[in-house]
Amino acid sequence: MFTFFYTFWHGKTPLWKSYWLIGELLNAVVILLIFNIEIFLFNNVNLLKELPTLNFTEFNFFSKFIFLVWTFFITVGIWRSAENYKGNIFWLILTLLILSYRLFTLRLIFFN
């Protein structure tokens, strides 16, 4: 497991695997895990009123911090995979634009 995250962090994982499996699928699992921790551990039932959307501004500071670290980790890993990508430049540019947007919207969690 450690080698998997090590190769991901250093961009040695193929771009499709970095983006789709880690950046989207595993990211969704981690977000749902953080959301459930927020509800059951911190008893933040206000989040249930916002469903089906996830309102990250209502998160506890600990949950926001974990989400920030996780987002930073996957963004760096995918970015490095994109730098090592040897395929069509369209996918490279699209990936970098999506990652930039992800970082741009991250500010809404803390400053909204």
Residue pLDDT, tens place only, 8-41: 999 999 999 999 999 999 999 999 999 888 888 8
As given in the structure block, the two tokens for residue 93 are 């540019």
**CB-based burial, 88-106: b 16+ in 10 Å, e otherwise:** eeeebeebeeebeeeeeeb
Predicted model pTM:
0.87
pLDDT per residue as tens digits for the range 39-61: 888 888 888 787 777 778 888 88
Binned at pLDDT 50, 70 and 90, residue 112 comes out as: low
